[in-house]
Amino acid sequence: MRKLLSRGLIVALVLGLTYQAFGQGAGDAKAIIEKAITAHGGAKNLDKLKATRMKGKGKVTIMDMDFPFTIDLQQQMPSQNKTVLKLNIMDKEISIVQVLNGDKGWTSVEGTTKDSEVDEITQMKASQYTARVSMLTPLLEKGFTLTALGESKVNGKEVLGVKVVAAGPEGH
């Protein structure tokens, strides 16, 4: 993930929008993004969203052993996020908390807290930046190159894809 933004962000957005909704094939990338924004209630609606929260659960496999986990990610645009990861290892819950606040961050593992290293902060900022870009409206700002990828299928549905390339070492 760190290398993802080192020289520019490339995000392939596959918009789950049917051709009937768009009435076009490969089309113009900017037009595809604009129509996706409209499908999400318009730019005004999307720009209102300043904070997000995602929860999930799953399992991670390490050395042929499965360990269940839960994750709670909270982000407040443009520069704050908190991730709480709870990993169950042999019936013991390990809690990891990672926080970004502007240019500073910290990580706590089982209550032992340390300031984040530069590469960890860079990774957290990359995650925050990716969340911002996924809001779609930033893609129409200066600094992004949009390229239509053409027609494709995702889970059997026809979709249009857009490749997004951001300028600069962190894309902003």
**Predicted local distance difference test score (pLDDT) of residue 119:** 93
**Predicted local distance difference test score (pLDDT) of residue 27:** 55
Question: Tell me: the pLDDT tens digits for 39-53?
Answer: 999 999 998 888 889
**Residue 19, pLDDT above cutoff 50:** no
- pLDDT bin (cut points 50, 70, 90) of residue 34 is very high
- pLDDT bin (cut points 50, 70, 90) of residue 58 is very high
Question: Tell me: the pLDDT tens digits for 101-141?
Answer: 999 999 999 999 999 999 999 999 998 888 888 889 999 98
pTM: 0.67
- Percent of the chain, pLDDT > 90? 55
Nearest to 28 by CA among 140, 157, 138: 140
Query: Could you give the C-alpha distances from 152 to 20, 21, 38, 125, 159, in angstroms and in order?
Result: 14, 15, 21, 31, 5
Q: How far apart are CA 46 and CA 137, in angstroms?
A: 7
